[in-house]
Structures are given as C-alpha cells and as structure tokens.
Structure 1
Amino acid sequence: MGLGIRALIMVSMTIFALTSVANAAEGTATFYTPYVPSSCYGYQNNGVMVAAASDAIWENRTACGRSYRVRCTEATNQSVSHHCKGTSIVVKIVDYCPTGCQATIDLFQEAFSAIANPDAGKINIEYTLE
C-alpha cells in the first residue's frame, strides 16, 4: 500500500474518532440490580448489558430498546482509585429510572463493572446513541 493511501486512511480514522467524541453527550451513571417487571419489557430477560433511562433520555418511553455506547470518564468520588477501566460498553434501555434518579443512565451492576470500579458508586460518562 502506498504512503499516500496509508496517510489518507490515518486521516480518515482520526476524523471519524474526533467526530464520534464530539457527538458524545456527557452525564452520570450509577448502577442497580434490575427487578422485574421492567418498564419496557415486563418479564422478558434482556441480559446484563442493560440500563434504566432517567428523564434526560426517557422521552415518554421512546428510549425503550435504544442502545447507547457508554464510557466512564471519571468517578464523582475521587477517593476511589482506578475508577475507570478505559473501555466502553453498549447497553440497551429496558427500564425507567424514576424522577429523582441520581444519574442520566442507571446501569445494571455487571454493565457498570465492565467500565468502572463499583466502589466508585457514581461516575461521569460520555454516551452516544448507537
């Protein structure tokens, strides 16, 4: 592959990455252990990569079934070391986090653990609609 084509590929990849980051919304995430029935799917099992949506993204149930890519940016509790794991996950909205919810997205505990130390309790996140 020629040097020009390689350079073009690298520039394209960089632009794509910057565009993805620029479109990410910022919020917070906590975790919970889902209970049934969920607001969106009743007693249907949707696995562990699921979340409850707060009023910020609930949109009168239209969030049901949406998938979001979520990445931890930092813990809100700075006394916890190694809070973010540097990875992102994709979760499906299956439930509603009622008014007064302390997060934008309330992740199932296993989903939260995939991106952050659960001892953090609450984290700052970037999220995008998938």
Structure 2
Amino acid sequence: MDVHIRSLMMASLMMMMMMMMMIFAYADEGTATFYDPPYTPSACFGNQDNGKMIAGASDGIWENRGACGRNYKVKCSGAANTEPHPCQGTNTITVKIVDYCTACNGTINLSRDAFSMIAKLQAGKIKIHFDRA
C-alpha cells in the first residue's frame, strides 16, 4: 500500500477516535433506577399521557421544574450493585422528563419500559452516561 494512502488512513482513524472521545466527554455520569406504571399523574404534566419512554428527575437535574419536558439520551454503562452484567438491549435510549423523584436513589428514575430496553430489571440500579438530547 502506498505510504501516502496509509498516512491518510491513519489520520482519518485518529480523527474518528478523537470525535468519539469528545462525544463521551460531554456526557454526564450517574445512576438510574426504575418505577412501575401507572405513569400518571406526573409532577410536570398532571394526567397527560406522555407515553412509556419517560423518566423522573432527581434533585441533581430537576432545576425547580426546569427539567420538565427535557429529553435525555441515556446509556447503561455498568453495574451499580451486585448484578455483574446489567446492560442489555438497545445501546442508547431517549426519555422525556415528566416527573420529580425525591427518593429514587438515582440520578434519573426511568419508566420500567425504558429501563428494560437498556438493562436487566433485576439489576434495579445501573450506572449510566446521560446527556440532553
């Protein structure tokens, strides 16, 4: 292979790796738990049905109702308790903040439906990377 082409390929690969690292550098780390239906009423929208890809915000992201309606991309990143390999299924999900979670013991309290798309329910609590969508 020509040395010039090889150099271009290496430079392209390095640039792609740097871009991937930048994407993860902006994501916050935290934990996620889940809650069971019914998902209404909620602190943000009362009895309005917002579907199943929803979540409650902890004090860390609640911002005095400022989080209401925000979308977050959430990715399971590992175990937060004794479940050794909790991550499964879809790589990343997007959820809408519809509720306030005062005692959920996590950063984001996902609906059961959302949690089960990225992790095993028996884990109960997982480590996550999350960012506003």
Residues in 2 aligned to 1:47 and 1:9: alpha-carbon distance in whole angstroms: 41
- Out of 97, 111, 114, the residue aligned to residue 114 of structure 2 is 111
Aligned counterpart, 2:28: 25
> Identity over the aligned pairs, expressed in percent?
50
Secondary structure of the residue aligned to 2:110 is: strand
Matches within 5 A, 1:69-80: 69-78=73-82, 80=83
Runs of 4+ in structure 1 displaced over 6 angstroms? Answer: 4-8
Aligned counterpart, 1:66: 70
Is 1:55 aligned with 2:48? no
Q: Which amino acid aligns with 1:57?
A: I
The root-mean-square deviation of aligned C-alpha atoms, in Å, is 2.0
Residues in 1 aligned to 2:51 and 2:12: alpha-carbon distance in whole angstroms: 37
Is 1:42 aligned with 2:46? yes
Q: Which amino acid aligns with 1:20?
A: I
Unaligned runs of 5+ in 1: none
Is 1:92 aligned with 2:92? no
TM-score for the superposition, normalised by structure 2: 0.84
TM-score for the superposition, normalised by structure 1: 0.86
Aligned counterpart, 1:129: 132
From the CA coordinates, give the structure whose radius of gyration is larger: 2
Residues in 2 aligned to 1:45 and 1:113: alpha-carbon distance in whole angstroms: 20
Q: Give the number of equivalent residue pairs.
A: 127
Q: CA deviation at 1:46?
A: 0.9
Q: Which amino acid aligns with 2:66?
A: T
Q: Is the 8 A contact 2:33 2:124 kept in 1?
A: yes
Q: CA deviation at 1:11?
A: 4.6
